[in-house]
């Protein structure tokens, strides 16, 4: 498929061919769901912890005798039914992360890129860098596109200048073409992709790789 390349000023420059195996696929909602949930699960800390009755500090002695008082039987003050007692089936530290099959994850990225391309929320922009590394310079450049909406910028490499400038923009996420994140990409209202990043994505996720 053909896609327009825009200048830093937001003007049309030329066209670029995007691989249909990356940007022209039918949308697979299931794959997108699995990829996003996998990322969210891998980010969970899983450090919530509670104490059971065996871990509570306190005496094991019975508070009163078993029979003759007319009250319910009571083992000790650490019972879960008492205030300050242990927690029944409370959470313990655990690892929520799991691995998604490599082929499924790569196919999910393809289908999200296809979704963005087909919905006209993806724009290819000529390569640029922010030599000053200043946020205000990057914001000024982004004003030539949809300003203030949730934006994803796909870089051709790990450009430290752009990353430094983008760090203080709350509505902007930046991704390298070979380290995409399904969550950020899917929920981005606007995806700006550098021209070289588009060419790299054609090779990285292209037709040969699609036959994995």
Mind listing the domains of the chain with CATH numbers? Answer: 2-43+100-210 (3.40.1370.10), 50-90 (no CATH)
Structural tokens at position 31? 């794959």
pLDDT at 68 over 60: yes
Q: Classify residue 36 by its DSSP letter.
A: H
pTM, two decimals, is 0.82
Structural tokens at position 43? 């980010």
pLDDT band at 210 (very low <50, low <70, confident <90, very high): low
145-163 tens-digit pLDDT: 888 889 999 998 888 889 9
Would you say 133 and 165 are in contact if contact means Cβ atoms under 8 Å apart?
yes
> With pLDDT > 90 as the criterion, what percentage of the chain qualifies?
61
CA distance 168 to 172: 9
What mean pLDDT comes out for the span 111-116? Answer: 94
Residues 6+ apart with CB under 8 A from 76: 53, 58, 59, 60, 61, 62, 63
* Closest alpha carbon to 200 in 112, 102, 101, 113: 113
Would you say 202 and 18 are in contact if contact means Cβ atoms under 8 Å apart?
yes
Q: Which helix (H) or strand (E) holds 123?
A: strand 122-125
How far lies 184's CA from each of 81, 145, 149, 188, in Å? 44, 19, 13, 6
Neighbours of 178 (CB within 10 A): 14
How far lies 15's CA from each of 2, 18, 178, 196, in Å? 6, 10, 23, 13
30-51 tens-digit pLDDT: 999 999 999 999 999 999 999 9
């Amino acid at each position: 498929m053909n896609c327009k390349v825009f200048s830093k000023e937001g003007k049309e420059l030329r066209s670029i061919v995007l691989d249909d195996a990356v940007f022209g696929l039918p949308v697979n909602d299931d794959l997108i769901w699995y990829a996003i949930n996998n990322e969210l699960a891998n980010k969970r800390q899983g450090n919530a912890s509670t104490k059971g009755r065996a871990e509570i500090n306190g005496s094991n002695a019975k508070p009163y005798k078993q029979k003759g008082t007319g009250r319910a039987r009571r083992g000790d003050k650490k019972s879960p039914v008492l205030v300050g007692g242990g927690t029944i089936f409370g959470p313990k530290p655990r690892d929520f992360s799991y691995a998604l099959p490599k082929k499924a994850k790569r196919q999910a990225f393809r289908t999200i890129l296809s979704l963005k391309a087909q919905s006209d929320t993806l724009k290819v922009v000529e390569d640029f860098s922010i030599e000053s590394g200043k946020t205000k310079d990057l914001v000024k450049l982004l004003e030539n596109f949809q300003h203030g909406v949730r934006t994803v910028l796909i870089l051709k490499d790990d450009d430290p200048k752009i990353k430094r400038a983008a760090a203080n923009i709350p509505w902007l996420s930046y991704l390298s073409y070979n380290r995409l994140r399904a969550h950020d990409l899917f929920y981005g209202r606007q995806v700006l992709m550098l021209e070289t990043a588009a060419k790299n994505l054609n090779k990285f996720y292209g037709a040969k790789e699609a036959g994995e």
